[in-house]
Every structure is written in C-alpha cells, then in structure tokens.
Chains A and B, each alone.
Chain A
C-alpha cells in the first residue's frame, strides 16, 4: 500500500482517479482514528463514524479539491495536516448531530455547567508567565493530562515539562507572596 508521503499531490489535486484511490487507502487509517477519538464522548455508532469519515473526504475533494490545494508541504507533513482537517470536520459533524437530537437527560451535567462567576479568582498579570508556561499549567491542571502527554504535544522531553512547570509555579507563588509548595 502507498504511504501518504509517496502520494503525488499534483496528480491528486487534478482529480486523477488512481491517485485519489491510493490517497484514500493511505489516509483512511488516520482519518478513522481521528474521527473516532473526536466523537468518542458522544458514543457514536459505526454508521456515525463512517459518515463523519466520509465528510472529511468530501471536504478534501469538494470544489475541485480546493482545500487540498491549500496544503503546503514545506510547512507541515501531510499526515499532521490531514489529522487537523479531519478533527475540524469531525467536530462540525458532532455539532450537527448534537443539534438534531439531544434529550436533556442524556447530556452529562458537566456539559451544561456554567462557570460560577461569583468566585473571585486572583488574576495573573499579563507577562508574568510565558505562553508556554501557561499552556503547560493548563494542560496539567485544567485538562488533567500527565507530563508525558504534554511532552509529546510540545515535542520536548518530560524533564523540560517538569522544569517549566516548576519555574512557573515559583513565579506565581513569589508574585502572590505564596504559600510554600
């Protein structure tokens, strides 16, 4: 089977049938995985996964392959870009599906939760933390991900994540005359 990296993108963008078929065969595993992960919290049926995956391919070839023609191989790999496109399409599919039928009793309360604005939070002044420090803290605490997942996301090693996390908290504690960790 042809790898994604071996696909002739110029031929693909002209709608060459055999190139399209090879591209679909190579991309299906990735698109299937992304769509399933995106829809996972909705407990989708197999037909929903197939429909969502088809939506992705329709987006790619619609209007004379307009979306596919925006891909720039100099900026990112085809797999990564396809994964991003598949995620967007799956999110739109999930939104449309949710709008059609969603009995309120079946929606988890957390999804309907509204932030309690009466709780006063201390505001972190701009510039106190770097964008990366903020992102790491949010992933670790808001998203409750572990260090290895954050390291994989940012393409850094786990020790660097821990070190960045530690420095960020030191800054926060110092600024707010904090309590010792």
Chain B
C-alpha cells in the first residue's frame, strides 16, 4: 500500500482551500467599478477593488461579462428600445421658451406643442364671446327689439297726426 499522498492538480488544490471572507461586504460604487474596468485606478485603489471583486461572485461575474461586452461589436437593438426611451423626455426647453406672457401660465400644457396652445387660446376666446353674446340676449332678440323700436316710433308719429286732423274736423263741423 502506498503511503504517498496523491498529487493534486492546480484546480484540486484550489478547491481544497478557502479564502478568508471580509468582515463586512465592501461596496463598490458604479464610478469606481467603471474606472477599475478601464484600468484607470492607481495601484492601491485598484487592489481594494480587486479584493472586493474577488470576494463577491456576483461582482466577479459582472466584471467578466462587462469586459466581454465592451470588448466586442454590439448587436443592433430592437427599435422599440429607443422609441420608448426617447418618449421619457419631452420638449421642456421649448415649452419654457414659448411662455412669454404671464397669462400663458394659466393655460393647460398640451405636451409642449405651441400649436395646441394657440388653438386653446382661440377656442377659449370664442367660447367667452359666445357666452357673453347669449347672456346679452343674442342676435334674435336684439333684432326684434330694434324692429319694435322702429315700429313704435312710426306708430306714435301716425297717432299724433290723426289726432290733429280730428281736431280740425271737429273745429270745422262745429262752426257751420
């Protein structure tokens, strides 16, 4: 029987060893991680990040995946990714520039379109004018009033003339 210990391969040797775990998990900021991935950190800082990456399997996996992705041509993304993301930001800058008068601040914001805003102003103006007109009696009533007024003045004139003729007639009939 052999008393010699079996020769371990490098992998077997490593698997029989346990590295010490840090007392508390080290947090690596996105900025530090990115700088480390690009090899831009000074040696001491890089060593700290490497210790954190070595201790955390998820961080290690992330580092390897990102290094692989950043090192090769990227596939064309589905167009919907850009369409949905672009809709997150509206024309705020243009909206702010178009608000030149104080009353524009009271207008509803139609998603930043100046055309919609002007349409809303015209619409509101028309509504106010129409309501005022109706409250004032409208076209029909004013026409009737005008007509009545003209008729009244004509009738009054005729009535006064008829009275004068009747007086004269009475005057002459009494004298004969």
Contact = CB atoms under 8 A, between A and B. Distances in A.
Given A32-B75, A46-B78, A50-B80, A135 B54 contact: yes
Given A123-B18, A172-B14, A178-B8, 17 more contacts: A17-B89, A20-B88, A30-B74, A38-B65, A53-B81, A57-B88, A76-B38, A76-B40, A80-B66, A91-B58, A122-B18, A152-B67, A155-B39, A172-B17, A179-B7, A179-B13, A180-B7
Interface stretch (B91-99, B115-123, B130-138, B139-147): B91-99
Interface residues of A, number: 73
27 contacts: A15-B92, A20-B89, A21-B86, A28-B77, A29-B74, A29-B77, A34-B69, A37-B69, A50-B80, A54-B81, A54-B84, A57-B88, A71-B31, A76-B34, A121-B17, A123-B20, A126-B20, A131-B48, A134-B54, A135-B53, A137-B14, A141-B10, A141-B11, A150-B64, A178-B13, A179-B6, A179-B7
Interface of A: 14-17, 20-21, 24-25, 28-34, 37-38, 46, 49-50, 53-54, 57-58, 61, 70-72, 75-77, 79-81, 83-85, 87-88, 91, 121-126, 130-132, 134-135, 137-139, 141-143, 145, 149-150, 152-155, 165, 169, 172-173, 176, 178-181
